[in-house]
Amino acid sequence: MANTVSQHQARTAHPGLKAWVDEIATLTQPDQVHWCDGSVEEQGLLVQTLIDAGTVEKLSETRRPGSLLARSDPADVARVEDRTFICAQREVDAGPNNHWRDPEEMRATLHALFEGSMRGRTMYVVPFSMGPLGSPISYIGVQLTDSAYVALSMRVMTRMGQPALDVLGADGDFVPCVHSVGAPLLDGAKDVPWPCNGENKYIVHYPETREIWSFGSGYGGNALLGKKCFALRIASVMARDEGWLAEHMLILKVTSPEGEARYIAGAFPSACGKTNLAMVVPTLPDWKVETIGDDIAWMKFGEDGQLYAVNPESGFFGVAPGTGARTNPNAVDMVSRDTVFTNCARTDDGDVWWEGMTGEPPAHAIDWRGQDWTPDSESPAAHPNARFTVQAARCPSMAPEWEDPAGVPISAIMLGGRRPNVIPLVHEATDWEHGTFMGSIMSSETTIAQAGEVGKLRFDPMAMLPFCGYHMGDYFAHWLTVAQREGARMPRIFYVNWFRRDDDGAFLWPGFGENSRVLAWIFRRITGEGEAVQTPIGLLPPVGEGGIETDGLDVSPETMAELLAVDTEGWLAQLPQFREHLERFGDKLPPELIAQLDALEERLRAG
């Protein structure tokens, strides 16, 4: 009986947790319940279970020691935003940025789906800490899952196991997370390597009760419920209610040649080089950049009024294609061993490969679907969303204080998007309200525009549009409100754009390691040493002395002037798109943001 097993194996004195596990076991009817302790022995058990099931294969111990390769079902390869729901009590609280369903109706739907959904399988009880164990910025979650792949991945991505139960104690609060691949094994049915329910997926959040239920998918953010579901959608609601910030941001430690360090957070939508920046190797002499986190920042106020941030994760779940020695040498080193790869290609010598990994592709490989592949094949060897899952401690650029329970003080926040024109290389907000406005209009261009024209913009405010667990208008209001806290010392806000192109479509800025030059200017602005020029859109570096350091940089003075110019006509042309985007949030949009937009237009027209 599942109840007996769970009671026997639980090493916790938390009666509420044990009762909840028994309740879900009774509903889902697994063959057995395994309470995860996070031990090395348990890791070996999970790996062997996955090998026996055909879910993963071991890679060459010579080429990629301690590493595994998994291939998912082709129907289960990415987050499913159209099947992701915020079931707030009131539809208006979910906002136009989320899919909403009535919570009671959704509970009835899910109850029917989960009834017996784990038959023939093991239910793993996965206790985990988001953030350093015992930190005042951290929270505990418990995920119940019938996927050994998920249990193994959660061991990498979170502080999972008995230590999390010890922090929880006998009466601590936890976020309950229920997950099933939705593929019960009935009447002795044979299992498949990647069980899922491709036609019937639900990723559901109940913000008021802080619960997460996921059905049908075994992949990524759909199934690793500590990641986007907890760390952003639920945590954003917690942050709003408790007066802190849960953000889709990297965290960097930047150290100047003088040995002074500052911490910078950064929000970037997908395909904007976020992970590459998080692990950047500076080209600027004597500057050092280290990693605190690559994806999520939880920031709470310290007694000194500053925001202190932790990376709530303990691993990287990175996109493999495009990751190579030129774009991200630290990541290449990091995944050289002890990594779980998913939907990458397998080379004939037992290694992995993906597009962008090396200059020359292998002559032959087995692609992510398990088919023969050569460079002449019409389809890619690795899925575009192929992933690596690896412990953060393996990253060569991790800062020593990345696990400091106190967090690190954030002095600046970077915002960014992929824009071929109009937006300069970097500009600074004049104050927090202006910076909030800049974040509210963050965008990338979805169409290739003619020279001098503005294409269609895809807005992703603060890179949070798919991940905010409540109405985006209320989210903007929360950003404005936190700055009004007594004694608050808010970070400076900067907007960067590495993606400007010339008339021939070539990038004006070399990017990658050269982005350290922009970080250095931001650093000097934080410490009061950097110079800036007041413009209608904000503060820009001067071209030349006192601005972006260009010694050793293969970019002409004319190109630098173009990168740092204010394209007045371009800005004016995109204002209607800004206005239409903001008006989408209706009565909940803070009037301060429309006032900022009006003031921007007035400054641009005044020249």
Q: Give me the active site residues, please.
A: 272
Structure token digits, residue 269: 């939508």
State how far the Cα of 477 lies from the Cα of 39, in Å rounded to an integer.
43
Q: Please give the distance of CA 501 from its chain centroid, rounded to a whole number.
A: 27
Place of tokens 């949009």: 589
Structure token digits, residue 395: 């990253």
State how far the Cα of 202 lies from the Cα of 205, in Å rounded to an integer.
10
**Maximum separation of any 2 CA atoms in the chain, in Å:** 76
State how far the Cα of 532 lies from the Cα of 181, in Å rounded to an integer.
54
Residue 99 DSSP code: B
Describe the strand order of the beta sheet including 365-366 as a list of residue ranges: 352-353, 345-347, 365-366, 372-373
Q: Which residues lie across from 264 on neighbouring strands?
A: 252, 412
Measured at the alpha carbon of residue 415, what is the angle toward residues 436 and 449, in degrees to the nearest 5?
Answer: 105
CB 46, CB 56: distance < 8 Å: no
CB 27, CB 111: distance < 8 Å: yes
* CA-based nearest residue to 542, from 382, 425, 372: 425
539: helix, strand or coil: strand
Structure token digits, residue 235: 């945590």
Structure token digits, residue 468: 């905010």
Question: What ranges make up the beta strands (E) of 278-392?
Answer: 288-293, 297-301, 307-310, 315-319, 340-342, 345-347, 352-353, 365-366, 372-373, 387-391
Q: What is the dihedral of CA 32, 36, 42, 48, to 10 degrees?
A: 50
State how far the Cα of 257 lies from the Cα of 102, in Å rounded to an integer.
56
